[in-house]
Amino acid sequence: MTAPADARAATASRFADAIRAFDRTRPVWVLGHNDADGLSATALFARGFRAAGWEVRTRIVGRGESPWSDSMRSELAAEPMGGLVITDLGVQDALPRPGVPTVVVDHHVPGAPPEGATVITGFGQDPIPTASLLAFWCAGALADAEPWLWLAAVGLIGDMADKAGFPEMEAARRFGVTALRDTAALVNAPRRSASGDAGPALALLLAADGPKDLLATDRPEAAALLAARAEVKAALDAARRVAPVVRGDVALIRFSSPTQIHPLIAQQWRGRLKDNVVMAANTGYRPGWVHFAIRSARDRDLIAFLAEHRPPGADEMYGSGHRQATGGALRPESWNSFVQGLGFGPEFSVPEQAA
């Protein structure tokens, strides 16, 4: 176990050492996940670098994307880049821009570390800090990060780590707990909407002076977030009416929605199906794919569960995340093999030409 104060100092020191290799004559890029934790971490890094006089560019990695993919490498190949920070997107033995100094800041179960990069991970600490909390510690090596503590709290709430005992969460109460919770819910909504566009959420996190300011703003991005929240609520209301089907110890809830509600449905059924591995599968989220989320009320390693049942054709989109909160995306033929291996009949398969 690492004491929080020691972890904070060690994280800031390791980050400060790593960015010495960055080229300040070129922009530093920050790639972050599109949920509340990843967006808050991205905003913290962007604020920190800008306060220290760096030029910063941000890239949200969203629906169907991976920072480790060939398509991401192609996208970034010609961009001017003095350094790269990747946050809340896992750890894999690959780099989106080989040859550019890279820092990976993450808290999920890590894969093999990429050669030539510095990995700052919260995994193995007790409790495990979120990406936003790690980013807050890192930002302290660039500038006075205390005014941005609310961003770390939004990420902690978004990843349900607000009750883990971090002193930063207690200190962030001065920003208003209700406002922090409302902010986390609001910035999480766009990435769950049919468009999946989390750009407005990041824009507000970069512009606001705090959660109350963000919630009270009349910027057009706020209207986009409110519309996304209403869309997601309507989709959730419909999906909640789908009954689970149980085979062995797996409970499957299958539905079709363009919104990213499968993690929420899995989480809601987790408390009612305490003896099962709960899997919410969404065949309508992205054409040609089945996206699914897995949760369990028991202390069960769900990443190991998915590894045990890994079907042919599964790629980097399958089976990463947390021991008790994971999932993935599979092409129809891989999905069909997967669910059949779990004991579900052909009625749970999808057409192999389209999901």
**Quick one: average pLDDT of 336-349?**
96
**Quick one: average pLDDT of 264-270?**
96
> Using 50, 70 and 90 to split pLDDT, how confident is the model at 1?
very low
Is the pLDDT score of 135 beyond 50?
yes
Is the pLDDT score of 261 beyond 60?
yes
**Quick one: average pLDDT of 230-236?**
96
Please give the pLDDT value at position 32.
98
Contact 152, 172 (CB under 8 A): yes
**CA distances from residue 74 to 31, 78, 95, 194 in whole angstroms, order as listed:** 15, 8, 12, 26
Q: Which residues of 280-316 are buried (b: 16+ CB within 10 A; e: fewer)?
A: bbbbbbbeebbbbbbbbbeeeebbebbeeebbeebeb
Please give the pLDDT value at position 352.
86
> Using 50, 70 and 90 to split pLDDT, how confident is the model at 126?
confident
Please give the pLDDT value at position 340.
97
Nearest to 41 by CA among 74, 89, 81: 89
User: Burial, 69: exposed, middle or buried (Cβ in 10 Å; 0-12, 13-18, 19+)?
Assistant: middle
Q: How many CB atoms lie within 10 A of CB 177?
A: 15
**Quick one: average pLDDT of 239-262?**
97
> Using 50, 70 and 90 to split pLDDT, how confident is the model at 251?
very high
Residue whose entry in the numeric block shows the structure tokens 């028991």: 298
**Quick one: average pLDDT of 234-251?**
97
Whole-number Å distance between alpha carbons of 196 and 284? 13
Whole-number Å distance between alpha carbons of 321 and 238? 27
- Mean per-residue pLDDT of the chain: 94
Is the pLDDT score of 305 beyond 50?
yes
Is the pLDDT score of 5 beyond 90?
no
**Quick one: average pLDDT of 67-79?**
95
> Using 50, 70 and 90 to split pLDDT, how confident is the model at 306?
very high
Q: How many CB atoms lie within 10 A of CB 242?
A: 15
pTM equals 0.84
Is the pLDDT score of 321 beyond 60?
yes
Is the pLDDT score of 294 beyond 80?
yes
**Quick one: average pLDDT of 35-55?**
98
Nearest to 99 by CA among 86, 120, 89, 114: 114
Whole-number Å distance between alpha carbons of 28 and 79? 11
Please give the pLDDT value at position 343.
97
Residue whose entry in the numeric block shows the structure tokens 């089907």: 245
Is the pLDDT score of 355 beyond 50?
no
Please give the pLDDT value at position 322.
83
**Quick one: average pLDDT of 141-147?**
97
**65-69, 154-158, 337-341: least confidently modelled range:** 65-69
> Using 50, 70 and 90 to split pLDDT, how confident is the model at 338?
very high
